[in-house]
C-alpha cells in the first residue's frame, strides 16, 4: 500500500470516520496545495498540444467529419425540385455547425469538463462535488481532502447556495437528475452502435454510384466486413489507433475541403448567399411541413458533437479546440458549400451528391479515403462509449466489466473488451437489418438530439453551482440551446416509426440495466449500513473474539467505509478460528477523475490495539 495514513481510533462509532485534520493542517498544507494546482492545471507544451491536436483528428472528429457523406441524402431522400431549397438547407447546416459544435460545445461545454473527463456522467460527477445529490450515502468530508477534489465555494445567500439547498432537500430531484444522466449515457451508447452503421454503409454505397449493376446486398456485406475489422483493432488502444487514423482523417478533411472549392469554382459561388440567416427563415416558411421534416436530415450535420465531448478524456481541451477551429470547421463549411453548388445545378442527384460531385479522375482514391474515414468516424463514438461506461462503473450504475488501460501517459485511454463485442454485434444487426441509410439516419438523429438536450439541462446546473454565472448568461445559453435543439427534436419525433424507434429501444434496454444495477447497489449499501455490528458487541467478546486466533492476515470485503460489517458476525459465530489480524477492505469510488497514488489508501485501527482489527479503504 502506497504511503497509508494510519489513524488510531479506539471507538469506531464516535467522532468522524477519519480525522485527517492533524495530517493536513500542518506542513502538508503547502504540499497539498502544490499537488492540487498540479492536477488542476496540468500544462502542455505548444509542440505537444499541436501533436495532440493532430492525433485528436483520428479519435474525436471522425464522426463529425464524415457527415457530408449522407446529410443531403437524408435531407432530400425523395429528391428536391427547387434550388432555393438547397440554399436554405445549406444555410441551416452552416448555422447549425456554428451554434452547436463551435459555440456551444467547443467554446462553452468543453470548459465544463471534470478535470479532463467529458460526457453527461462527467457533468454529474462535477455536480456531485458541489451539491450532495449522490444517492449512494457514502460521502464524507475527508473525501474533500483529496488534492484532486476541486470544488468552488459560494456565499450563503447566493443563488447558487439556494439552488444547492433545493437540490439536496428533494430526493425526487436527485433521482430525476440521475435518470436524466443515465438517459444521456444510454443515448451515447446508442451513438456507438448507430454511427459506425451509417458511416460505413454510406461510404460503401459509393460502389453502386460508379457501378450501378452491383447488388445492394454486396454493399451491406462489404460494410459488415469493414465493421468486423474496425471492432477487432480496438484492443490496440486509442493511442495507437489515433496515430494510425489521424493522417487518414487529415487527408479526408483536406480532400472534402478541396472538392468543395473545386465545385464552387466549377458551378459558381451563388450558394454562398446561404451565409445570410434570411435563407433559414425562407426555407422554413416556404417549405411548410416538408421543410420541417427535413430538419431530421440536416441534424446529421452535427452528429458526432456529443462524442467530441465524451471523448475529451483522451486529449486536453486546448488540443481539441485547435483541431476544430483550424481544420474541421472550415473544411466542413467548404464541403457542404461545394455539394450545394453541385446540387443546385443537378437537382436530381440529391441521393448521392457526395460521390457525384467528385472529379472523375480521383473518384476511386476518394472512395478509398471515404471508406477509411468512415471507419475512423466509428472510432469516435466507440471510444466515447468506452469512456461513459467507465464513468458509469465509478458511479455504481453499470455491471462490473473489465477495463483495460491502453496508455501509461493518458488515464482516459481505455478499452473494454465485453462492451466492444456487444457493440459489434448490435452494429452489424442494425446494418444488416435496416439496409437503408435513411432509416439509420433517422435513428441516429434521434439519439444525437436527446443527448444534446440532456447536456443542456445539466449545463444549467453547472453554470449556477460551479461557474456562478449571472442569471442573464444562464438564460441566454439555455434559451439559445433549447430553441435549436427542441426545433430539431420536434422534427425527429415525426420519424419515430421510420427508424427513430431503434435508439429508443437500445437506450431503453441499457437504461433498465443501469438503473436496476444502481438501485441494487444503493439497497445493498443501505442494508449493510443498517445491519452493521455494534462496537460494544465486538468489545464484549474480548481480544480473542471468542475464537482461536491463528497466525496470518484475514481480509474481509465490505461496502462499508465505516463500522463493522454484518457478515463479520457470521464468521465469528460459525467459524472455529480466525486470523490473528483482520482487515476490512472497502473499495470506494469518489466523484473525481483520479486519486493520486499517495492518497489512495486510508488505513485505521478498529477498537483496542490488542484486538488487531483494521480497516483499509481503497479510494
Q: Dump the DSSP string for 188-240.
A: HHHHHHHHHHHHHHHHHTHHHHH-TTS-HHHHHHHHHHHHHHHHHTGGGHHHH
User: pLDDT at position 21, please?
Assistant: 32
First to last CA, the chain: 12
Q: Is the pLDDT score of 30 beyond 60? A: no
Q: Is the pLDDT score of 283 beyond 70? A: yes
pLDDT-derived band at 241 (thresholds 50, 70, 90) equals: low
483 or 504, greater pLDDT:
483
User: pLDDT at position 116, please?
Assistant: 75
Mean pLDDT check: name the lowest of 13-27, 130-144, 537-551, 599-613: 13-27
Length of the chain equals 619
CATH no. for 59-143+164-519: 1.20.1740.10
pLDDT-derived band at 100 (thresholds 50, 70, 90) equals: very high
Closest residue by Cα to residue 604 from 40, 98, 69, 140: 140
Closest residue by Cα to residue 538 from 600, 582, 474: 582
Q: Is 585 helix (H, G, I), strand (E, B) or coil?
A: strand
Q: Is the pLDDT score of 12 beyond 70? A: no
Residue 300 CA to residue 75 CA, distance in Å, equals 9
Residue 3 CA to residue 62 CA, distance in Å, equals 43
Residue 111 CA to residue 125 CA, distance in Å, equals 14
Answer whether 377's CB lies under 8 Å from 66's CB: yes
H or E element, residue 5: strand 5-7
Q: Is the pLDDT score of 360 beyond 80? A: yes
User: pLDDT at position 14, please?
Assistant: 39
pLDDT tens per residue across span 402-438 = 888 777 666 667 788 899 899 889 888 888 887 666 6
Cell numbers representing residue 333 in the block: 463549411
Q: Is the pLDDT score of 314 beyond 80? A: no
> Other CB atoms closer than 10 Å to residue 400's CB: what's the count?
8
DSSP helix, strand, coil percent of the chain (3-state; round to 5): 70, 5, 25
User: pLDDT at position 11, please?
Assistant: 40
Q: Is the pLDDT score of 483 beyond 90? A: yes
Closest residue by Cα to residue 556 from 547, 548, 566: 566
5 or 50, greater pLDDT:
50
139 or 533, greater pLDDT:
533
Residue 454 CA to residue 489 CA, distance in Å, equals 12
Cell numbers representing residue 404 in the block: 483495460
User: pLDDT at position 334, please?
Assistant: 96
Q: What are phi and psi of 605, to 5 degrees?
A: -90, 140
**Left if phi > 0, otherwise alpha if psi is -120 to 50, otherwise beta: which for 556?**
beta
Answer whether 313's CB lies under 8 Å from 406's CB: no
Query: CA–CA distance from 92 to each of 273, 292, 336, 406 (Å)?
Result: 12, 11, 11, 40
Cell numbers representing residue 412 in the block: 482516459
Q: Is the pLDDT score of 37 beyond 50? A: no
DSSP, residue by residue, 443-495: HHHHHHHHHHHHHHHHHHHHHHHTS---HHHHHHHHHHHHHHHHHHHHHHHTT
Q: Is the pLDDT score of 261 beyond 60? A: yes
Residue 79 CA to residue 205 CA, distance in Å, equals 17
**3-class SS letters over 499-547:** CCHHHHHHHHHHHHHHHHHHHHHHHHHHHHHHCCECHHHHHHHCCCCCC
Q: Is the pLDDT score of 487 beyond 50? A: yes
13: Cβ–Cβ under 8 A, 6 or more apart, which residues? 534, 535, 563
Q: Is the pLDDT score of 40 beyond 50? A: no
Q: What are phi and psi of 312, to 5 degrees?
A: -60, -25
Average pLDDT estimate for 190-210: 79
Closest residue by Cα to residue 214 from 204, 227, 229: 204
Average pLDDT estimate for 218-222: 84
Residue 440 CA to residue 442 CA, distance in Å, equals 5
Residue boundaries of the structural domains of the chain? 59-143+164-519, 532-618
Query: CA–CA distance from 443 to each of 36, 356, 411, 446, 511 (Å)?
Result: 43, 25, 32, 5, 17
Residue 526 CA to residue 528 CA, distance in Å, equals 5
Residue with cell 476544430: 324
User: pLDDT at position 28, please?
Assistant: 36
Answer whether 532's CB lies under 8 Å from 563's CB: yes
pLDDT-derived band at 13 (thresholds 50, 70, 90) equals: very low
Q: What is the mean pLDDT of the chain?
A: 81
Q: Is the pLDDT score of 90 beyond 50? A: yes
- pLDDT above 90 covers a percentage of the chain that reads 21
User: pLDDT at position 9, please?
Assistant: 39
Amino acid at each position: 500500500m502506497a504511503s497509508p495514513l494510519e489513524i488510531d481510533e479506539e471507538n469506531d462509532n464516535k467522532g468522524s470516520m477519519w480525522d485527517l485534520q492533524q495530517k493536513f493542517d500542518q506542513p502538508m498544507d503547502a504540499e497539498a496545495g502544490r499537488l492540487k494546482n498540479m492536477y488542476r492545471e496540468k500544462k502542455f507544451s505548444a509542440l505537444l498540444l499541436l501533436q495532440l491536436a493532430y492525433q485528436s483528428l483520428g479519435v474525436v472528429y471522425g464522426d463529425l467529419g464524415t457527415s457530408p457523406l449522407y446529410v443531403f441524402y437524408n435531407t432530400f431522400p425523395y429528391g428536391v425540385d427547387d434550388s432555393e431549397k438547397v440554399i436554405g438547407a445549406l444555410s441551416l447546416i452552416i448555422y447549425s455547425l456554428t451554434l452547436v459544435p463551435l459555440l456551444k460545445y467547443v467554446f462553452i461545454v468543453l470548459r465544463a469538463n471534470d478535470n479532463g473527463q467529458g460526457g453527461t456522467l462527467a457533468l454529474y460527477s462535477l455536480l456531485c462535488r458541489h451539491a450532495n445529490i449522490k444517492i449512494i450515502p457514502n460521502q464524507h468530508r475527508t473525501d474533500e481532502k483529496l488534492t484532486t477534489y476541486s470544488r468552488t465555494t459560494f456565499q450563503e445567500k447566493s443563488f447558487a447556495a439556494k439552488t444547492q439547498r433545493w437540490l439536496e432537500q428533494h430526493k425526487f430531484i436527485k433521482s430525476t437528475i440521475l435518470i436524466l444522466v443515465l438517459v444521456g449515457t444510454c443515448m451515447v451508447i446508442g451513438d456507438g452502435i448507430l454511427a459506425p452503421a451509417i458511416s460505413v454503409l454510406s461510404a460503401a454505397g459509393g460502389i453502386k454510384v460508379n457501378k450501378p449493376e452491383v447488388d445492394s446486398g454486396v454493399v451491406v456485406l462489404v460494410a459488415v466486413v469493414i465493421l468486423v475489422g474496425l471492432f477487432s483493432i480496438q484492443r490496440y488502444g486509442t493511442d495507437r489507433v489515433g496515430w494510425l487514423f489521424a493522417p487518414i482523417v487529415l487527408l479526408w478533411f483536406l480532400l472534402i475541403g478541396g472538392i468543395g472549392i473545386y465545385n464552387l469554382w466549377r458551378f459558381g459561388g451563388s450558394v454562398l448567399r446561404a451565409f445570410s440567416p434570411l435563407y433559414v427563415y425562407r426555407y422554413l416558411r416556404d417549405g411548410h411541413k416538408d421543410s420541417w421534416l427535413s430538419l431530421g436530415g440536416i441534424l446529421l450535420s452535427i452528429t458526432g458533437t456529443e462524442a467530441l465531448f465524451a471523448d475529451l478524456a483522451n486529449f486536453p481541451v486546448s488540443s481539441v479546440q485547435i483541431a476544430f477551429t483550424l481544420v474541421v470547421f472550415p473544411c466542413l463549411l467548404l464541403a457542404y458549400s461545394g455539394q450545394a453548388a453541385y446540387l443546385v445545378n443537378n437537382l436530381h442527384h440529391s441521393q448521392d451528391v457526395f460521390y457525384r460531385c467528385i472529379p472523375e479522375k480521383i473518384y476511386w482514391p476518394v472512395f478509398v479515403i471515404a471508406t477509411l474515414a468512415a471507419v475512423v468516424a466509428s472510432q469516435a463514438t466507440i471510444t466515447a462509449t468506452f469512456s461513459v461506461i467507465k464513468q458509469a462503473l465509478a458511479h455504481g450504475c453499470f455491471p462490473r466489466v473489465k477495463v483495460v488501460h491502453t496508455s501509461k501517459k493518458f488515464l482516459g485511454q481505455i478499452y473494454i473488451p465485453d462492451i466492444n463485442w456487444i457493440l459489434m454485434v448490435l452494429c452489424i444487426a442494425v446494418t444488416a437489418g435496416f439496409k437503408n441509410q435513411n432509416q439509420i439516419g433517422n435513428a441516429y438523429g434521434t439519439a444525437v438530439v436527446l443527448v444534446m438536450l440532456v447536456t443542456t439541462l445539466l449545463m444549467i446546473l453547472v453554470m449556477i453551482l460551479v461557474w456562478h454565472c449571472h442569471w442573464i448568461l444562464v438564460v441566454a445559453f439555455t434559451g439559445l440551446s433549447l430553441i435549436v435543439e427542441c426545433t430539431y427534436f420536434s422534427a425527429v419525433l415525426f420519424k419515430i416509426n421510420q427508424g427513430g424507434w431503434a435508439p429508443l429501444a437500445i437506450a431503453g434496454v441499457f437504461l433498465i440495466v443501469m438503473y436496476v444495477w444502481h438501485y441494487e447497489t444503493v439497497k445493498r449499501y443501505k442494508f449493510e449500513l443498517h445491519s452493521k455490528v455494534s462496537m460494544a458487541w465486538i468489545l464484549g467478546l474480548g481480544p480473542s473474539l471468542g475464537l482461536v486466533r491463528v497466525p496470518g492476515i484475514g481480509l474481509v470485503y465490505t461496502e462499508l467505509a465505516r463500522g463493522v460489517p454484518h457478515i463479520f458476525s457470521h464468521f465469528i459465530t460459525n467459524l472455529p478460528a480466525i486470523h490473528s489480524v483482520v482487515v476490512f477492505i472497502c473499495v470506494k469510488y469518489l466523484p473525481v477523475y483520479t486519486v493520486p497514488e499517495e492518497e489512495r489508501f486510508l488505513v485505521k485501527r478498529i477498537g483496542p490495539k490488542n484486538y488487531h482489527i483494521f480497516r483499509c479503504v481503497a479510494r
